[in-house]
Amino acid sequence: MSTDVLEKRYRTLLRAYPAEYRRDRGDELIDTLLGDEPDTRRWPTVRQTVALLRGALRVYGGSTSARPTAVLCWQGMHLGALSVLALGALIGLDDLVEAFQFGGFLDPLSVLRDQGIFEVMMLLALVALAAGRLRAAAILTMAAVVVPTAASQYLYLNGMPQWWAPIVALPLILIGLRRPADVPPVNRGNAVLAAMFVLGLHLIPAEGLRNYYLSDQLPAIVLTVLGLAVFLWVASADQRLLLAAIPTLLLGSLYQLRIGSTSELLHRPDALPSLAVAVALALAAVVATLQRQRTRA
């Protein structure tokens, strides 16, 4: 009876894996986990649980595919485009709500013209990309740059970060249209979860580290370290997240530079950290993939 309960709980953990992988390897994994000896345990060990979850992340990251590097690059670009659009939509929504909170109801049409049109276009592009409709997503992303700017130059003239999101995402989406046939598309549910995870990286309260009082800094330090540790733990198994985070960091740099000119780096050194992190993530993804290929060989 305890073996049946344990097997059932193992199969619950295996739901973290893609359905196709479970069909091909699920029974084999269960046999390996249960072993030949009788076991009175009713729960998987912590070590087994962690190993299974990391294994699922590796499978989604393409570790079992015939071309893991191709899966990393192509799916990483797709997740990067999805993440940067989601971040732009989130920032835009926050600014839209804030605009109405601070006097926007006195002139709602102006607020909707300045920010509302952009938000609608971004959400449409985000939904199309999440659904895997790349051609529609490319058209809507291009429209998210042109249409709101033609209606109002508020976002452009003020260098708002959300205005850069479709500009960063568009080339990634266009490149994704040329994805090789032997590289599978990103699972829709997994793509949404990955984008939400990257968004979580930007919700880490790093700004709290600038507080003067140590008592105010401590919660921010704890949450920042914990958040970064969780992200790196997950991304070390699924390196696509490293690539997905890069466009979102570039978005922050473009916002800090205002007009996006590289010459401004000399005058705006606060833009360098985001660029440095983006480069570090790209190098980490490449090194991890090469190491994984050598291990498989």
Q: How far is the C-alpha of 199 from the C-alpha of 90, rounded, in Å? A: 9
Q: For residue 252, which phi and psi values (nearest 5 degrees)?
A: -65, -40
Q: How far is the C-alpha of 293 from the C-alpha of 134, rounded, in Å? A: 29
Given this model, what pLDDT does residue 208 score? 47
What pTM does this model have? 0.82
Q: How far is the C-alpha of 245 from the C-alpha of 239, rounded, in Å? A: 10
**Burial status of residue 142 (CB atoms within 10 A of its CB: 0-12, 13-18, 19 or more):** middle
Q: How far is the C-alpha of 83 from the C-alpha of 86, rounded, in Å? A: 5
Kindly give the confidence (pLDDT) of every residue in the chain, 297 residues in length, as a single tens digit, with 9 standing for 90 and above: 567 788 888 888 899 898 888 888 888 888 888 775 566 777 888 888 999 999 899 889 888 888 888 888 899 999 999 999 999 998 889 888 888 888 777 788 888 888 899 999 999 999 999 999 999 999 999 999 999 989 888 888 887 888 889 999 999 999 999 999 888 899 888 899 899 988 887 777 655 445 555 566 677 677 777 877 888 888 888 888 888 988 888 776 776 665 444 444 444 444 445 666 666 766 776 666 666 666 555
Q: What is the pLDDT of residues 238-265, one digit of tens each?
A: 888 888 988 888 776 776 665 444 444 4
